[in-house]
Amino acid sequence: MTRGARLVVLGKQGAGKGTQCVRLSHYLAVPHISTGDMLRAAVKAGTEFGQLAKAYMDRGELIPDDVVMGIVEERIAEPDASRGFLLDGFPRTTVQAKALDEMVRPNSLDLVLDLDVPTELVLKRLSSRRVCSTCGANYSLESPPKLNWTCDLCGGEVVQRRDDTETAIRRRLDLYEESTAPLLEFYSERNLLAVVNGVGTPDEVMDRLVKVVEMARDRKK
């Protein structure tokens, strides 16, 4: 595997995918494509698609396959993804995984990383998460902004996302187990899956991910 690899990162919501994907995208020199970020941008813009997505997100439910697949296919067809990409939040079902195979042809995925974190830990992380309503910067009850829930980066209001309530979080985790966990078997059967321990400091987790990526690179030589 060389620079420009096509990677997927799986893991429960709150497993730290966003943080690690940003780091990995810089390491591999490929764009970090987060379906969650794309969906929230559409919601904030109030587009027709955004309004449709908002109803599902507020209930902690998955967006329908055809809607998500359309937005991902459009994104990975853009010039900056021609050398590769790092997908965060997609695929979430085997139907989406099979569709992704078709999207990337005649190429194929190089590696699928599963960031493994216990459910109770991600529940704690998500319920304490706070987000800047303007720029999207992440904070938590343990690591708040310096001044009265005002974003350190842009001065925007730092709030709890509506889909980060305990009820919505538990619903998302249940849906993950029902719909997304089977992806582990799907990709394991194709010898693409690497499970990585996601517990630890961001640097510790990143070191583990890099080792796995480098091992996959060596096997491709």
H or E segment to which residue 19 belongs: helix 17-28
Instruction: State the CB neighbour count (10 A cutoff) for residue 36.
Output: 16
Verify whether residue 92 is a known catalytic residue: yes
Verify whether residue 172 is a known catalytic residue: yes
Marked catalytic residue, from 129, 170, 171, 208: 129
Retrieve residue 134's tokens. 């303007």
Verify whether residue 129 is a known catalytic residue: yes
Largest CA distance in the chain: 52
User: What 8-state DSSP symbol labels residue 11?
Assistant: -
Cβ burial of 39 (10 Å; 0-12, 13-18, 19+) is buried
Marked catalytic residue, from 6, 40, 75, 92: 92
H or E segment to which residue 7 belongs: strand 6-10
Which residue is it, tokens 């974003």? Answer: 151
Marked catalytic residue, from 12, 17, 54, 130: 17
Marked catalytic residue, from 23, 161, 170, 208: 161
Q: Show which residues are catalytic.
A: 17, 92, 129, 161, 172
